[in-house]
A = this chain, B = another copy of it.
């Protein structure tokens, strides 16, 4: 415990993220001041949204500044504390950044219990991705029993939870994922009704087959061509939840807008964006309900754990290449 390895943003990536976009630095482990504590990070959350945080310009959060430690959610253990409410030995989740150690004043930090669930689950199903799935599907998508719900990125951190909550709520669930393994995972292990392998199947044909009454709720994690195809298969009064657009994040050309958006008119449908932070005051409620489902086995969760902080840039790329199944986590 003497050096703190850190990935700092060196330049704004153009297209796909590269190792050269970061500086891999070594600093001293910082000392917590009054009202602060020191966290030894155990696992880092790798999320598609991180790509957007590296870009300049207005978004739902400010961009990461050049020279700053790359922003990331993480879970770890408190190893020193001058904070009255956080004690050494406690485990906490927060935006601690891509590094070994972080100092925090406790703002935006949540205490978690490693006896209730393994630490990586607090970055996935019981963390931001799970919250995103829960509020996006139920509050924005207004999914209800009998609906046909389609989710893209179905085997990803958010998608796997969306589909399972939809099943719990009595929906028919069709996933869209890349590759036969991911499709098998969501159907055989998670209980989705069907999954379309967009790398090897005709997505439109698959939707027609598996959603004969049309799509009531589409939870979109990918954007691009798949969003455009789903638009052609909407049921009346369909709801589209815009959660992400991973297919477009590394574009060097303009984002592909949905050409078929006039289907919103034909079908009196709605497309709405969401940012999970808006639901922060209800995270507890969702975590309790999802924790119950996890305990009872109604909700399953998978994390894709890669070891080694030093692999950060390459491991992050797994997301954009679609190589992860379940929540991608970096073990520090």
Tell me the A residues contacting B by CB distance below 8 Å.
58-60, 223, 228, 242-245, 248, 254-275, 278
Contact = CB atoms under 8 A, between A and B. Distances in A.
Contact of A255 (B245, B259, B264, B270): B259
Contacts of A248: 262
B59 A266 contact: yes
Contacts of A257: 228, 256-261
A258 B261 contact: yes
Contacts of A266: 58-60, 273, 275
Contact of A271 (B243, B259, B264): B264
Contact of A259 (B60, B254, B268, B273): B254
Given A60-B266, A269-B272, 9 more contacts: A248-B262, A255-B259, A256-B257, A258-B261, A261-B261, A263-B273, A267-B273, A268-B275, A270-B272
A285 B261 CA distance: 31
A242 B259 contact: no
Nearest to A264: B273
Contacts of A269: 272-273
A261 B271 CA distance: 9
13 contacts: A59-B266, A60-B265, A242-B261, A248-B262, A254-B259, A255-B259, A256-B257, A257-B259, A264-B272, A265-B273, A268-B273, A268-B274, A269-B272
Contacts of A260: 255, 257
B275 A265 contact: yes
A278 B243 CA distance: 29
Nearest to A223: B262
Contacts of A223: 262
A242 to B, nearest CB: 5
